[in-house]
Amino acid sequence: DAKTTQPPSMDCAEGRAANLPCNHSTISGNEYVYWYRQIHSQGPQYIIHGLKNNETNEMASLIITEDRKSSTLILPHATLRDTAVYYCIVRVGNNNDMRFGAGTRLTVKP
Chain residues binding another protein by CB under 8 A are 32, 34, 36, 38, 41-46, 49, 87, 93-95, 97-103
Residue 86 and residue 103: Cα distance in Å, rounded? Answer: 5
Of 83, 92, 100, the residue nearest 36 (C-alpha): 100
Pairwise CA distance, residues 56 & 2, whole Å: 24
Q: Write down the least CB distance from residue 42 to another protein, Å.
A: 6
Nearer to another protein, 17 or 102 (CB): 102
Nearer to another protein, 20 or 44 (CB): 44
Closest CB 31 distance from another protein, rounded Å: 12
CB closer to another protein, 68 vs 91: 91
Instruction: With CA atoms as reference, report the closest residue to 8 among 81, 69, 88.
Output: 88
Nearest distance from C-beta of residue 1 to another protein, angstroms? 11
CB 45, min distance to another protein, A: 7
**Pairing relationship of beta strands 70-75 and 55-56 according to DSSP bridges:** unpaired
CA distance 40 to 26: 30
Quick one: 14 or 59, whose CB is closer to another protein? 59
